[in-house]
Amino acid sequence: MNRTGRIFLAALAGAAVLLFPVVTTTPYYIHTVLMVFLFATMGLGWNLIGGYGAQLSLGHSTFFAIGAYSAVLLMVNYEISPLVGGIVGMVLACGAAVVIGLPCFRLRGPYFCLATIAAGEIARILFLHFQEFTGGANGVPLPFHGDDILTLQFSSKAPYYYLALGLLVAVFVLVRWMEKAKIGRYLAAIREDQDAAESLGVRTDRVKLIAYVLSAAITAAAGVLYAFTVGYIDPDGVASLNLSIEIAVVVIVGGIGTLWGPVLGATVVVLLTELTNMYLGSLRSGASLVLYGLLLIVVVVARPKGLISLFDRAPAASLPKQVGTRVHVA
Amino acid sequence: MDSTIILQTTLNGLMIGGVYALVAVGLTLIFGVMKIVNFAQGEFVMLGMYVSWALATFVGIGPYPGLLIVAVIMFVGGWLTFKLLIIRIIGKSDEAFILLTLGLSIFLQNITLLAFGADYLTVTTTVKDAAIRFGGLAISLPRLIAFGVALVMVAALTLFLNRTDTGRAMRATAESREVATLLGIDPVSCFAVAFGVGTVMAGIAGVLLTPMFYVYPGVGTLFNTTAFIVVVLGGMGSLTGALVGGLLIGIVEALGGTFVSLDLSQLFAFLIFLAVLFVRPSGLFGRSA
């Protein structure tokens, strides 16, 4: 496809995304696309550490939960606007990322992954345990006080849709910039060979921590928006291992360590699960997750570089066994 | 505090710890030989429970008499899983194995949900409510049987690894894949046996659990995380470590759940897990890398 054709297609896609809530009035459809945006955002954030840095984290729901709980509790208990509470949540998530990251980054491979699972589960247990504060397993409902941008409450789904879209675009631009910046190159070096990077003077622990903290902040921001869109949060919904897994799966299905991978992955995974729920959900629960599990298996076995690799212009000639021995600069 | 309660709680923890150990032994065997973490181990426990339930419900063979049948079915299942899926990603990154087995775990859990529904199923056995009493303490018979069989299985596996040619070949592969290949050992067939045997251990644990646990599609997740904790605590790849780790975690969970708070019982296990990872990643019985 030539350049004009691509620009035309991009403009068409952009217009479709912008006009979608105007064309359809079914809240369910708007909500579904909104969830695509949120998962794409979280995927982009996760990719910073999980993809570019190759540190497989399965504990990101903790940051999502910290963002969601901070904003909701500050609003419900102290009437502090989620615009402020959201920032508080993001800062707290960054703090948690430092506390979790500092010890965990000394671990490698499966050990790092298992440690993030343990940290995430500890956070979930604590959210469940401190009931006076978090409402425990019952969760926290968000009473509706009428449309107001300061309280992030709207009777229609459309404003949330545009907020989520805005967040996605902002994070996308940030990650695109980071890919080309110094930190992106350091992360790529760590992914290829951590010891070599270290010997070349890259302070690997610090680089990984920066990427992890940023990715936590992005995940927390998505958590804030999710909480106010849905109007209810509970530990099993926002702090679960399943959510952590889903964030990672979105990126893996789309294409790990690529810019468009998380966006494509979120689109495929969320639409697939929602569509199966819609058409087969009445049959029996579980159908959508069967497909989701199968998709993950098929991608790992047959398309380890994700679905995005289907769009590669030049099919990579037989790759060496260790994928990518060169350092990606751009 | 009443010392009888402490003793009784410790005893309960010890008994369930035997089952944890059995699940963990399978996991640690797969890790030791193949150097991969199997995230679907808990789902193999769940499948063992369903096969056991199906045998009891449709054929009329109870869990204990059906133990061998379940073991054979599970071995074939594990071996097929290896031949169909796992073999395709040998030589790839740790992450690929984690993600593949994670996908397998999600798939197995939900295909079971699709097939049998979310209902909690039970198997009734004659020993279900039986208990042995002595000196004010009581041990429920299913727990005691589970504990005993778990110990026997771990001992049998140790014998198998030390005394048979296949076992020795597996240990050589665990030591060094390259050297084993030079010695004429086919590492891939060792992997297949390790994965199959690991699956059998999980399946037998499932059978032993059926008389005392509800059977439902999500039951495996309870054992997935616990098995990881046990394996890391004992030292990845160490059978003795998995056994001791399993018993320890069983006791810690029981004591924590009784004397601190039930909803925090898992917290202690996770904290121990992290402490071991940070302080001594090779675990209690592993050799430091």
- Contact by Cβ (8 Å): A181, A53: no
Supply the mean pLDDT for chain B: 87
Quick one: how far is CA B206 from the chain centroid? 8
- Residue A206: inside a domain, yes or no? yes
Helices (H) and strands (E) in chain A, counts: 14, 2
Residue B39 to residue A106: CA distance in whole angstroms? 22
Of all residues in chain A, what percent carry a pLDDT higher than 70? 93
Question: Does residue B8 sit in helix, strand or coil?
Answer: helix
Please determine, for residue A328, whether its predicted confidence score (pLDDT) is greater than 60: no
Question: Does residue A181 sit in helix, strand or coil?
Answer: coil
Query: Which residue, among B46, B222, B266, B277, would best test binding to A if mutated, counting the most A CBs under 10 Å from its CB?
Result: B277
Please determine, for residue B250, whether its predicted confidence score (pLDDT) is greater than 50: yes
Domain hosting A30: range is: 26-240
Please determine, for residue B288, whether its predicted confidence score (pLDDT) is greater than 80: no
- pLDDT given at position A327: 43
For residue A96, give every residue at least 6 positions away whose Cβ sits within 8 Å of its Cβ, in sequence order, or none: A62, A63, A66, A123, A216
**Chain B: residues touching A (Cβ < 8 Å):** 36-37, 85, 88-89, 91-92, 94-96, 98-100, 102-114, 117-118, 217, 225, 228-229, 232, 261, 263-264, 266-267, 270-271, 273-274, 277-278, 281
Please determine, for residue A207, whether its predicted confidence score (pLDDT) is greater than 80: yes
Residue A319 to residue A50: CA distance in whole angstroms? 22
- pLDDT given at position A318: 42
- pLDDT given at position A281: 66
Alpha-helical regions (H) of chain B: 3-34, 41-54, 67-84, 94-116, 141-163, 165-175, 177-182, 187-209, 219-234, 239-259, 265-279
Assigned token pair, B289 = 């890398």
- pLDDT given at position A284: 67
Instruction: Report the pLDDT averaged over residues A89-109.
Output: 92
Please determine, for residue A204, whether its predicted confidence score (pLDDT) is greater than 90: no
- Residue A209: inside a domain, yes or no? yes
- Residue A267: inside a domain, yes or no? no
Question: What total of structural domains would you count in chain A?
Answer: 1
**B96–A297 CB contact, under 8 Å:** no
- Residue A330: inside a domain, yes or no? no
Query: Which residue, among B106, B229, B260, would best test binding to A if mutated, counting the most A CBs under 10 Å from its CB?
Result: B106
- Which is more confident, A319 or B180? B180
Cβ neighbours around A199 below 10 Å, total: 9
**B99–A292 CB contact, under 8 Å:** no
- Residue A215: inside a domain, yes or no? yes
Least confident of A43-52, A274-283, B195-204: A274-283
- Which is more confident, A41 or B130? A41
- Which is more confident, B104 or B6? B104
Residue A267 to residue A270: CA distance in whole angstroms? 6
- Contact by Cβ (8 Å): B216, B118: yes
Q: pLDDT tens digits, residue range A144-193?
A: 887 888 888 888 888 999 999 999 999 999 999 998 888 888 888 888 88
Q: Please report which confidence band the pLDDT of residue A325 belongs to, taking 50, 70 and 90 as the band edges.
A: very low
Q: pLDDT tens digits, residue range B137-159?
A: 888 888 888 889 989 988 999 99
**A284–B113 CB contact, under 8 Å:** yes
Please determine, for residue A322, whether its predicted confidence score (pLDDT) is greater than 70: no
**A293–B104 CB contact, under 8 Å:** yes
Least confident of A97-106, A267-276, B116-125: B116-125
- Contact by Cβ (8 Å): A59, A212: no
Residue B207 to residue B22: CA distance in whole angstroms? 11
Supply the mean pLDDT for chain A: 87
- Residue A312: inside a domain, yes or no? no
Instruction: Report the pLDDT averaged over residues B277-286.
Output: 81
- Which is more confident, A326 or A277? A277
Q: pLDDT tens digits, residue range B70-92?
A: 999 999 999 999 999 999 888 88
Q: Please report which confidence band the pLDDT of residue B1 belongs to, taking 50, 70 and 90 as the band edges.
A: low
Instruction: Report the pLDDT averaged over residues A137-143.
Output: 86
- pLDDT given at position A324: 41
- Residue A300: inside a domain, yes or no? no
- pLDDT given at position B124: 77
- Residue A249: inside a domain, yes or no? no
- pLDDT given at position A152: 84
